[in-house]
């Protein structure tokens, strides 16, 4: 009886499987043997599938809460003398002499005078003398380290930094971002000067000091939170906390030493409204803006709000109340920050990407250009509002129009080209645009009018002598 095609097919498959199993018996025995040997060598570690021949990938396994790389280790590199040597011990390594006895010239001269050498011996002796001369000319190999090399090697090593008292002013200045703090105090001073009240120099100094201390505290806490991310950026890798020049506890203590007196000074010596704005600004910068930098692009708008509060604080320090003029000054700072920061961040996109920050220039480049142009044009509209709100005369929107048009033109070029050159020009223009705008606003300020009616003042009677 003939077999069906299905039976023939199953028979062929069975034969082929049997042949492959017979061929792989030896290989399986080797695999099992290798697994047993591996377990005998290191029974504490886990055996992974990488030891089987049919899997070629390497794995990382976890053993006792530690990660173990299951890859073939490279040969340990030969350490140089610089790596092996301790800092305080200097080892000299000399060349090992050859095993063949070398005859020096001083020893060879008596031998020549005592007996006669054959031609063959003379040739051998000449070779040995020449080798000895070469050996004597070579100085012993001594590894000598210069002061520069030693300093370079020590700089690469981890070591405990000792804080010198003479270095603390510079460290504190960088921890507080002294240039940014100076800009904050300048804008607060402009807000105080624009307030429609008589100028009080003592109150002006106290409010400026409190605003500066609050800014130092906010900047210090910001650096404390961003140490692991600042270390990945070329722009921020030399900050004091990243380099370990001071400890985190030292930085937090400095922030508290600045923030608590600053807010207390604004609250008690100026007025509670200004103290509240100072505390609110510290909170927004440290607890909202700083974490949002790694979460969403809305951090740019929150940061612009933080920068808009200092001129409002200056106004409230002088008047004790919030008025439309104060909000207009904050609007100037709010709009100015977008062309300023967007142009700056455009050329730092690689740095922000390494740090893990979600900036408009990194995640939304088109929006970054549009927002910078939009707020540059918005400065022109805000300038027109100044005389409408009785903050300045109508001369101000006219004389500030050229600088507003120029920054808008650079923002338009940045929007069209979006290259490093256009971003750099817009950024440097913003550096002088804000001081110039505030100076023109101050020169066009409306003169202060006394609220009291002169008719209600008591008439001054002339002094007469009584007879």
> Beta partners for 456?
none
- The region, left, alpha or beta by phi > 0 then psi within -120 to 50, assigned to residue 65 is left
DSSP-based three-state secondary structure for 132: helix
pLDDT at 255: 94
Residue 284 — very low, low, confident or very high, per pLDDT cuts 50/70/90?
very high
Q: DSSP labels for 340-391?
A: HHHHHHHTTHHHHHHHT---HHHH-HHHHHHHHHHHHHHHHHHHHHHHHTTS
Residue 267 to residue 90: CA distance in whole angstroms:
62
Select the more confidently predicted residue: 84 or 208.
Answer: 208
Task: Say if residue 166's pLDDT is above 90.
Answer: no
Per-residue pLDDT at 340 exceeds 90 = yes
Residue-wise pLDDT tens digits, 108-138: 444 444 344 445 554 545 555 555 544 445 5
The pLDDT value recorded for residue 4 is: 54
Two structure tokens written together for 183: 């800009």
The answer to whether 300 touches 251, Cβ cutoff 8 Å, is no
User: For residue 396, how far is the Cα from the chain centroid?
Assistant: 40
Kindly tell me if the per-residue pLDDT of 10 is higher than 70. no
In DSSP terms, which residues pair with 392 in a beta bridge?
A: 445
pTM: 0.62
Mean pLDDT computed over 426-437 = 94
Q: pLDDT at position 38, please? A: 59
- In this predicted structure, the answer to whether residue 335 has a pLDDT above a threshold of 70 is yes
- Inform me whether the pLDDT recorded for 82 exceeds 80: no
Q: Which residues pair with 67 in a beta bridge?
A: 62
Tell which wins on pLDDT, 221 or 124.
Answer: 221
Confidence grade of residue 350 (pLDDT, cut at 50, 70, 90): confident
More confident residue, 193 or 117: 193
Stretch 243-272: mean pLDDT: 92
Mean pLDDT of the chain: 76
């Amino acid at each position: 009886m003939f077999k069906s095609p299905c039976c023939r097919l199953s028979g062929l498959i069975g034969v082929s499987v049997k042949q492959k199993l017979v061929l792989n018996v030896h290989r399986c025995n080797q695999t099992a043997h290798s697994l047993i040997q591996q377990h005998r060598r290191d029974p504490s570690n886990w055996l992974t599938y990488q030891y089987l021949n049919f899997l070629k990938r390497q794995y990382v396994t976890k053993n006792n809460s530690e990660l173990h790389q299951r890859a073939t280790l490279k040969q340990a590199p030969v350490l140089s003398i610089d790596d092996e040597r301790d800092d305080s011990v200097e080892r000299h390594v000399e060349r090992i002499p050859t095993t063949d006895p070398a005859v020096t010239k001083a020893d060879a001269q008596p031998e020549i005078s005592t007996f006669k050498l054959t031609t063959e011996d003379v040739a051998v002796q000449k070779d040995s003398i020449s080798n000895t001369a070469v050996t004597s000319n070579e100085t012993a190999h001594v590894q000598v380290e210069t002061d520069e090399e030693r300093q370079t090697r020590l700089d690469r090593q981890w070591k405990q930094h000792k804080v010198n008292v003479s270095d603390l002013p510079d460290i504190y200045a960088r921890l507080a971002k002294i240039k940014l703090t100076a800009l904050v105090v300048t804008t607060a001073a402009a807000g105080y000067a624009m307030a429609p009240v008589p100028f009080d120099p003592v109150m002006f100094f106290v409010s400026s000091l409190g605003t500066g201390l609050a800014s130092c505290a906010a900047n210090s806490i910001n650096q404390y939170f961003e140490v692991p991310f600042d270390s990945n950026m070329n722009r921020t890798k030399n900050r004091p906390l990243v380099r370990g020049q001071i400890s985190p506890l030292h930085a937090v203590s400095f922030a508290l030493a600045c923030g608590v007196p600053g807010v207390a000074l604004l609250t008690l010596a100026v007025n509670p409204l200004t103290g509240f704005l100072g505390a609110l600004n510290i909170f927004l910068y440290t607890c909202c803006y700083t974490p949002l930098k790694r979460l969403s692009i809305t951090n740019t708008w929150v940061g612009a709000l933080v920068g808009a509060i200092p001129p409002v604080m200056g106004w409230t320090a002088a008047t004790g109340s919030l008025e439309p003029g104060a909000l207009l000054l904050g609007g100037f700072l709010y709009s100015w920050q977008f062309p300023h920061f967007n142009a700056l961040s455009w050329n730092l996109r690689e740095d922000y990407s390494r740090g893990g920050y979600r900036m408009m220039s990194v995640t939304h480049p088109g929006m970054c250009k549009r927002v910078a142009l939009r707020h540059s044009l918005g400065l022109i509209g805000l300038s027109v509002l100044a005389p409408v709100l009785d903050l300045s005369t109508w001369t101000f929107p006219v004389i500030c129009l050229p600088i507003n048009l120029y920054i808008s033109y650079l923002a338009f070029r940045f929007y069209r080209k979006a290259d490093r050159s256009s971003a750099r020009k817009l950024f440097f223009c913003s550096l002088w645009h804000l001081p110039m705008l505030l100076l023109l606003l101050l020169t066009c300020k409306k003169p202060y009018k006394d609220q009291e009616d002169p008719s209600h003042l008591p008439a001054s009677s002339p002094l007469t002598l009584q007879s």
